[in-house]
Amino acid sequence: MRLARILALALLAALFVYPLARLLALPLLQGSDVGPCLPALANSAFFALLVGCIAAPLGAILAQALETLDGAVLRLLGLGLWLLFLTPGYVLTTGWLVIMSHPAIRDGLFGQVFLGPTGLVFLYLMKSLPFAVFVARATFAAAGAQLGEAALVLGLTRWRRWLLRLRLALPAMAAAFTIAAIETMQEFGIPATLGLTAKIPILTYAIYQRLNTTPTDFAGAAALCWWLIGSAAVLALLQAAVQRRHQAALVHGRARQAMRAKPAALARMSLAGVASLLWGLGLGAPLLALIIVALGGPMDADGLDAVPRSLFYGMLAATLALGTGAFVLKLQQGRSLWFTGAVQGLLAANMAVPGLILGAGYVIAFNNDLLPLYGTVLLLIIAYAAGALPIAIRLLGTALGQLDAKLDEAARIFALPRVTRLIDIEAALLARPGLQAWLLVVAAVMFELPISELLYVPGAMPLGVAIVSADMMASYAVAARLALLGLATLAGLALLLNGALRLSAAPRPRQVS
Amino acid sequence: MRKAIAGAFAAFIAIVAVFMLWPSPAPGLVLYSGLDYGPAIAAAFTKETGIKVTVVRLATGSLLARIAAQGQHPDWALAWFDGATAATALDDAGLLARNLPAPQNLTPTGQSLVSKDGAYIPTGFTLAGVFISDPARLQTPPASWQDLTAPAFRNQVGMNDPSISGPTYPALAGMLDQAGGWPQGQDFVTALKANGLQMFDKNDATLAALQAQAISLAMVQSSAAVYFAANHPGLRVTIPTPAYMLPNVMVEAAGLPARQRAEAERFMAFIMRPDIQKLRQAQGEADGYYWPVTSDAPVPLPGLPDLATLKIVTLDPVAWGRLESTINGWFAKVMSGA
C-alpha cells in the first residue's frame, strides 16, 4: 500500500508539479520584460473586480431566493443557471457575434456598446453568475428557520431583518465574489472569441499570444502566469479574511429547514425579470442566433470531424481522470495522513491553476529528448485528464464517501471474488454518480479551449479550436453548426447512457419455477 | 449482466483508445503549409514519386510558433509560408537546415530573394500590404502609405495583427521603412493609430470586416486582396507606392536524416516546375495569386497588375527579421493604447 501511495504521488507530481515548475521557473532563470503587458493585467483585474462586485450580491440574492422560495419562476431560474453553467462561454460569445454580424445591429447604439467593455462584462457576468449562486446556495441551504422566527418574535422591522440577512450572507458573498472574480480573471474563451483583445488587452489572451503567435516568448508567458496565479491567491486571501471576520455557525443539531414560501408579488416580478434576462439575453438570443445561422447557407461537412474527435478525446480523458481519481481515493481510505494531505494540497493547487497555464507547462515540460510527447494525441489526452482530475476526485469522493466500508468486509466474509466486489457491489452502487461525473468531464473536455489551443495535434483540430477558428474567419455558420452539433451529441450521449443505466437498474420479474 | 455491461464499456473505451492513439504509419515528409496550394502540390508529388507527404495546414503565425515551440525536436521536415523575415528569424534560432539548393532558372528578382546561407528558397512572391476598398463608401482610395493618415480615412482602415498573421509583419516593416526606418517610422504608425486604424486577426477577418462594412479599406496581402476582389465584384484593389515584396519561401528542418533530406530536395525542385506552378495557381485559391520567380513559369493569374507599373521595394530580411520581436511588441503596445 505504501508503494502504491508513493507511485500515486509520483504520478500526480509528474502531471502537475513537474510541468508547472518547468514553466514557472522560466522567468526566474531567464528574466522577462512584462512591462508592455501591464495594461492586460490592469484590464483583467478591473473586469474581475467589477464582475465580482456585481455577481456577489446578485448571486447571494438569487441563492437566497432559490433556497427559501418556491414556484415556477424559481425553477426556471435554477434551470437557466445550470444551462448557463454548462454552456461554454465562447459558444455564447459566438452566438452574440452572429447577432452582431448584422450591420444594422452592429453599427447601432446597442452594437457599439456591446462590442466594447460592456459586452465583455456582460458575458463574463453570465458565465460567473452560476458559480456565485451555487457557492452562496450552500450557506442559505444551511440556514435554518429559527433566525427568521426569532427576528419576528422580537418584533424587528423589515429593514432590520433585511440587514441581519445581509450580514448572514456576508461570508457567502465573499465566497461568491472570490469565485466570480477568479473565474473572470482566468476566462480565456470569451476574450479570445469576442475579438476585442486588440483594443482591450486581457491577461489570459496575452499569455496565449506569447505562446502561440510570432515571436514565441515562453519566459514572458510564464511571468504573466505568475500574475494570474498571484491574483487568484490575493482574492482567496481576501475571502479568507472576510470569512474569518464574519463567520457564522449555521449547521447544528437543532437546525430546522425553513419552509419554502411563495414569493410576494414584487419579489415574483423581480425574479421573473432576472429569469427573463438570463433566458433571453444569456441563453435565448445567442443560441437562437446560432440555430438560425446554422440552418442557413449551404450545408457542408466543413470541419465536422472535430465533433467525434473531441467526443473521443473527452471519453478517454474522462475515463483516465475518473480511473485515476478512484485509485487515489481508494488509497486515501487508509489512515495515511501524509498521503491525504499531499493529495489534497496538489489538487487544491491544480484547481487554482487554469487550463491555459497547465497547457503552457506541458508545452515546455514534454518537448525534450526524455519525454518527446509534444504534438501527440497522447499528451493532449493526458493534459485533459490532468486538468479534469481535481473535479473528478471531488465528484467521485462525495459518492465514494457514502459507501459503508462494512459492505466490502461483508463481501469478503462471503468470499466473493474481487471482480464481483468491484462490479456488482461498488460499481453498481456508484454507477449513477459515476456516470454523471463521467459525463460532466466528457462535456468539459469536449468544449475545452485553452489546453486544446496549445497542445492540439496539427491537422486534427479539437472542437473548441475549430469553433474559435471559424469565428476568426467570420464563418459563423460553420462555428454554429459545430457548436450545436457538439451540444446535441453530448445531450444524446447523456440520454443514451442514462437510459441504459435506468434499464439495467430496473427490477426484473422473478422467475417462478 | 453488470459484468457484461462493464466489459462492453471497457471494450468500447479500449477500441476508442486504440483508434485515437494508434501510431499513424510512417508519415513520410511532414510539410507544414501556410499556403493554400500545399495539400494539392503534396498530393501531386506523392502521385508522381511515390514518396508520402503529410500536409499540416496552419495559419502562418501558428505555423511559425509551432516550429519555434518544437525547437530542436521537430516533427516537421519542410515548411512553406510567406515571409523571408520569419525564415531568417527561425534560421537565427538554429532551427533550419542551410545550403538548400536554389531553384533553377531564377529571374533576376528571384535571384535577389535567395537566402545568403541557403536557409530558405524563394518559391514566388506577393506584396506585403495593398489596399482593398469599397468605392461606395470610399470614393478616392489612398495612393501612398502617407495618405492613410488623412482625415478622409479616419476610422475607415483595418489591418491584420502581425503577431497572428505571419505575412503582416513585412507590411508593418514596410510602413516603418517608408517612414524613415526603425525607430524613426514609429511616428507614422502612431499617427495611423490616432487616425482610427483598426486591427483584426488575419486576412480573412480583416476582409470580413470590410465586407460587413465595419471598415471601408483593408490593408492585406496582395494575393488575398486580388482573390477577394475577384469574388466580390465592386471592390477595388490599389497598390500603394512603394509596395513591399513578400516572398513565399520553403524551409527545411535542421538535422533531417540523409534520406529525408534527399526527398525534401526532390520536393523543392518539384514545386518549381512550370506544370506544378500552374497547379499552384489553379489550386491555390488566394495564394494562387502570386508572381513567379522562375523564367519558365506560367504567367501570373489575371487580376495581378503588371510589375513594370509598380514601384516595388525589397526589405532586407536579415535586418528586419531580427527586429520582428521588438517591432511586434511595440506595435501591440501602440494598438492597445498602452
**pLDDT attached to residue A320:** 94
Q: Do B61 and A214 lie within an 8 Å CB cutoff?
A: yes
B240 and B252 inside one domain: no
**pLDDT attached to residue A489:** 95
**pLDDT attached to residue B59:** 78
**Residue count (chain B):** 338
Count Cα neighbours of B279 within 13 Å in the Cβ-side half-sphere: 16
Q: Do A504 and B199 lie within an 8 Å CB cutoff?
A: no
A11 and A76 inside one domain: no
Q: Does B82 touch chain A (CB under 8 A)?
A: no
Answer whether residue B1 is part of any domain. no
Q: Do B200 and A198 lie within an 8 Å CB cutoff?
A: yes
pLDDT digits (tens, 9 = 90+) for B295-314: 999 999 988 988 888 899 98
* Peptide linkage before B242 cis (omega within 30 of 0): yes
What average pLDDT score do residues A500-511 get? 71
B240 and B269 inside one domain: no
| Closest-CA residue to B152 (of B195, B188, B190) | B195
B96 and B40 inside one domain: yes
Q: Give the nearest chain A residue to B204 (CA atoms).
A: A473
Q: Which residues of B touch A212 (CB under 8 A)?
A: 61-62, 65
Residues 6+ apart with CB under 8 A from B126: B82, B167, B221, B222, B223, B246, B248, B289, B290, B291
**pLDDT attached to residue A326:** 87
**pLDDT attached to residue A334:** 66
Among B21, B71, B201, beta carbon nearest to A377: B21
Answer whether residue B14 is part of any domain. no
Select from A226, A261, A295 the last residue of a domain. A295
Q: Does B8 touch chain A (CB under 8 A)?
A: no
Angle B204-B207-B209 from CA coordinates, rounded to 5°: 110
B-interface mutation test, from A200, A211, A213, A473, most B Cβ less than 10 A away: A213
Contact (CB, 8 A) for A434 and A399: yes
Q: pLDDT category, A247, cuts 50, 70, 90?
A: low
A114 and A16 inside one domain: no
What average pLDDT score do residues A403-418 get? 79
**pLDDT attached to residue A488:** 94
**pLDDT attached to residue A503:** 78
Q: pLDDT category, A391, cuts 50, 70, 90?
A: confident
Size of interface A-B (CB pairs under 8 A): 130
**Contacts by B135-142, CB closer than 8 A, 24 or more apart:** B135/B234, B135/B235, B135/B236, B136/B234, B137/B213, B137/B216, B138/B216, B138/B217, B141/B217, B141/B236, B141/B238, B142/B217, B142/B238, B142/B240
What average pLDDT score do residues A435-447 get? 92
pLDDT digits (tens, 9 = 90+) for A207-219: 888 887 766 778 8
Answer whether residue B302 is part of any domain. yes
Answer whether residue A334 is part of any domain. yes
**pLDDT attached to residue A198:** 63
B216 and B96 inside one domain: no
A26 and A36 inside one domain: no
- Work out the mean pLDDT of chain A and round it to a whole number: 83
Answer whether residue A260 is part of any domain. no
A36 and A19 inside one domain: no
A289 and A309 inside one domain: no
A-interface mutation test, from B12, B15, B16, most A Cβ less than 10 A away: B16
Q: Does B119 touch chain A (CB under 8 A)?
A: no
Separation between Cα atoms, residue B42 and residue B280, nearest integer Å: 11
Q: Do A459 and B55 lie within an 8 Å CB cutoff?
A: yes
**pLDDT attached to residue A508:** 64
A65 and A177 inside one domain: yes
pLDDT digits (tens, 9 = 90+) for B57-94: 887 877 888 888 888 888 899 999 998 888 998 998 89
What average pLDDT score do residues A189-199 get? 78
Count of the separate structural domains present in chain B? 2
Answer whether residue B66 is part of any domain. yes
In eight-state DSSP terms, residue A305 is T
**pLDDT attached to residue A258:** 65
B294 and B201 inside one domain: no
3-state secondary structure of B182: coil
B94 and B203 inside one domain: no
Q: Does B128 touch chain A (CB under 8 A)?
A: no
Q: Which residues of A touch B66 (CB under 8 A)?
A: 375, 458
pLDDT digits (tens, 9 = 90+) for A443-488: 999 999 889 988 888 778 899 988 887 876 677 888 899 999 999 9
**Residue count (chain A):** 513
Q: Do B61 and A458 lie within an 8 Å CB cutoff?
A: no
A127 and A158 inside one domain: yes
Answer whether residue A262 is part of any domain. no
Of A45-54, A369-378, A460-469, where does mean pLDDT reach its minimum? Answer: A369-378
Contact (CB, 8 A) for B125 and B81: no
**pLDDT attached to residue A512:** 56
Q: Give the nearest chain A residue to B161 (CA atoms).
A: A198
Count of the separate structural domains present in chain A? 2
* Residue A249 or residue A32, greater confidence: A32
Answer whether residue A360 is part of any domain. yes
Among A213, A423, A459, beta carbon nearest to B65: A213
A445 and A479 inside one domain: yes
Answer whether residue A470 is part of any domain. yes
Answer whether residue B213 is part of any domain. yes
Separation between Cα atoms, residue A384 and residue A208, nearest integer Å: 17
3-state secondary structure of A392: helix
B281 and B186 inside one domain: no
Evaluate if residue A250 carries a pLDDT over 60.
no
Q: Which residues of A touch B89 (CB under 8 A)?
A: 214-215
* Residue A6 or residue A35, greater confidence: A6
B107 and B255 inside one domain: yes
Answer whether residue B186 is part of any domain. yes
Residue B168: which domain range?
Answer: 130-244+321-336
Q: Give the nearest chain A residue to B321 (CA atoms).
A: A215
Residue A495: which domain range?
Answer: 1-31+300-501
Q: Give the nearest chain A residue to B55 (CA atoms).
A: A459
A225 and A315 inside one domain: no
pLDDT digits (tens, 9 = 90+) for A149-172: 788 888 888 888 878 877 777 888
Q: Does A345 touch chain B (CB under 8 A)?
A: no
Buried b / exposed e along A106-141 (16+ C-beta atoms within 10 A)? beeeebeebbeeebbbbbbbbbbbbbbbbbbbebbe
B222 and B257 inside one domain: no
Q: Do B204 and A474 lie within an 8 Å CB cutoff?
A: yes
A275 and A376 inside one domain: no
Buried b / exposed e along A224-240 (16+ C-beta atoms within 10 A)? bbbbbbebbeebbeebe
Q: Which residues of A touch B55 (CB under 8 A)?
A: 459
pLDDT digits (tens, 9 = 90+) for A100-140: 888 788 878 888 888 889 999 999 999 999 988 988 887 77
| Closest-CA residue to B234 (of B213, B255, B252) | B213
Q: Give the nearest chain B residue to A360 (CA atoms).
A: B69
B206 and B331 inside one domain: yes
Answer whether residue B6 is part of any domain. no
Q: Give the nearest chain B residue to A106 (CA atoms).
A: B214
Q: How far is A408 from chain B (nearest CA, A)?
A: 18
Answer whether residue B150 is part of any domain. yes
Q: What CATH number does the domain containing A56 carry?
A: 1.10.3720.10
A224 and A357 inside one domain: no
**pLDDT attached to residue B288:** 94
Among A39, A40, A198, beta carbon nearest to B199: A198
Q: Which residues of A touch B205 (CB under 8 A)?
A: 195, 472-474
User: Residue type at A40?
Assistant: A
* Residue A128 or residue A242, greater confidence: A128
Residues 6+ apart with CB under 8 A from B218: B131, B132, B133, B157, B158, B159, B206, B207, B209, B210, B225
Percentage above 70 pLDDT, chain A? 89
Evaluate if residue A253 carries a pLDDT over 60.
no
Separation between Cα atoms, residue A108 and residue B312, nearest integer Å: 41
What average pLDDT score do residues A320-339 get? 82
Q: pLDDT category, A509, cuts 50, 70, 90?
A: low
Q: What CATH number does the domain containing B279 carry?
A: 3.40.190.10
Separation between Cα atoms, residue B198 and residue B191, nearest integer Å: 13
Measured between alpha carbons, how far apart are the two ends of chain A, in Å?
Answer: 47
B255 and B296 inside one domain: yes
Q: Does B51 touch chain A (CB under 8 A)?
A: no
**pLDDT attached to residue A298:** 67
Answer whether residue A263 is part of any domain. no
Count Cα neighbours of A268 within 13 Å in the Cβ-side half-sphere: 9
A241 and A187 inside one domain: yes
Q: pLDDT category, A364, cuts 50, 70, 90?
A: confident
**pLDDT attached to residue A35:** 67
Among B54, B75, B205, beta carbon nearest to A473: B205
Q: Does A503 touch chain B (CB under 8 A)?
A: no
Q: Against a cut of 0.90, is the pTM above it?
A: no
Regions of chain B where pLDDT drops below 70:
24-25, 336-338
